[in-house]
Amino acid sequence: METIVLGAGMVGVSTALALQQRGHAVTLVDRKPPGQETSYGNAGIIQREAVQPYAFPRSIATLARIATGLSNDAHYHWGALLRLAPQLLGYWAASAPARYAPIAQAYSRLIAHCLTEHGGWIEAAGAADLVHRQGWMQLYRSAPVFDAAATQARTTAATHGLACQVLDTAALAAAQPVLQMPLAGAVHWQDPWSVRDPGELVARYARLFVQRGGQLATGDAMALRQEGSGWAVPTSAGPVTAQHAIIALGPWAGALTTRLGYRLPLFSKRGYHRHFAGGPMLTMPALDIERGVMLAPMARGLRLTTGAEFALLDAPATPVQLRRAEQSTRELLPLGQPVEATPWLGARPCTADMLPVLGKAPRHAGLWFNFGHAHQGFTLGPVTGRLVAELVSGEAPFVDPAPYLAQRFL
């Protein structure tokens, strides 16, 4: 079967590989080389422990801290809040405890397969040199926050069969001697893997796809159109036609699906990163929970990544969170010199109910969805790529797709 995959990030490349594995002749279309957009800019963690999606804060105190700029977890543009109000209201409603519980269960069923699905492609792509398998840490500055988090972590680990270690001040200092101030403690999630160059991992997967006979094409996915009983998209090498088309465009999926007549509650959370080279390096990624910054050792240096910025996709950059992150991180360790002249800016593709949109498009034959992974596209790409490929191929899906289908919004 001829198949087009639109989007060459982790989700799109993984989908292309899974389809190819099932006998499809696949063309992967993007305006940039594989792994150069959202997949490039994340913290590079395959988060096996991420069994609970990021909920909208329900605490009035937390919301007040964000609204007044006292929290670095989130930043917002007023104009974007007005435009995104329906989606954010849906996000808030879906985060209520009664609704959140089944959402988290559905989410965890996908996360459970992330290491297995990545592991096969890592081996096949010869990418083991990029991967470290010692987990990552959540760092805590204050004892009350640490004590509550440690209790919750133990419960989550026991419920989901995860490995975690709770480190007190002394144990954390021994594990991460580069930290130059005492912290209350840390939770070390031991199952996840970290990748020292996330964009390169996507590129290696894409090279494997090409080695196995797949086609890469440069083109504008937004120009996708129905043609006869199939689909067509223009590329620099000429038009590409196929029986099936899979939209795996991350934060740009909303624009294309809207043009095709769908009204899905999609929005983006923007984020920033910057590398610092020449300073001491942590042995694994670490999230400074109370300052809202992830510190990820990368090939280019220590990558600082920020929390969520609620802004329109094409709005000018406002790296307020990153400036704060740099200041707070200098309390923990010397940063060295910035590598990039200006910070990197990307966007996380989100849905109001925190679950990705997967499977058959309700109103178009041969059109399929694979987007809306929020913070976990890098983690879940091979998982949802396999699931969608099974659905396209008429196989029995290895995970029940019902919670993720677009019909839930229609």
**Dist. CA 122–CA 115, nearest whole Å:** 10
Q: Determine the pLDDT at residue 60.
A: 86
For 242: left if phi > 0, alpha if psi spans -120 to 50, otherwise beta; the answer is beta
Helices (H) and strands (E) counted in the chain, each on its own, are 13, 23
Q: Residue 186: how many CA atoms within 13 Å on its side-chain side?
A: 24
Q: Determine the pLDDT at residue 67.
A: 80
**Dihedral Cα 146, 189, 175, 292, nearest 10 deg:** -50
Q: Determine the pLDDT at residue 22.
A: 98
- Residues present in the chain in total: 410
In this structure, the strands spanning 225-227 and 215-218 are unpaired
Structure letter (DSSP) for residue 316: P
CA angle 159, 160, 161 (to 5 degrees): 100
Structure letter (DSSP) for residue 234: -
pLDDT in tens, the chain (410 residues): 899 999 999 999 999 999 999 999 999 999 999 999 989 999 999 999 999 999 999 888 888 888 888 789 999 999 999 999 999 999 999 999 999 999 999 999 999 999 999 999 999 999 999 999 999 999 999 999 999 999 999 999 999 999 999 999 999 999 999 999 999 999 999 999 999 999 999 999 999 999 999 999 999 999 999 998 999 999 998 999 999 999 999 999 999 999 999 999 999 999 999 999 999 999 999 999 999 999 999 999 999 999 999 999 999 999 999 999 999 999 999 999 999 999 999 999 999 999 999 999 999 999 999 999 999 999 999 999 999 999 999 999 999 999 999 999 98
Q: The whole model's pTM is what?
A: 0.97
Contact 325, 293 (CB under 8 A): yes
Q: Determine the pLDDT at residue 23.
A: 98
Q: Determine the pLDDT at residue 21.
A: 98
Domains of the chain plus CATH, in order, are 1-55+97-130+195-265+352-410 (3.50.50.60)
Please state the separation of Cα 307 from the chain's center in Å: 12
- Among 340, 392, 9, 2, smallest CA distance to 206 is for 9
Contact 7, 221 (CB under 8 A): yes
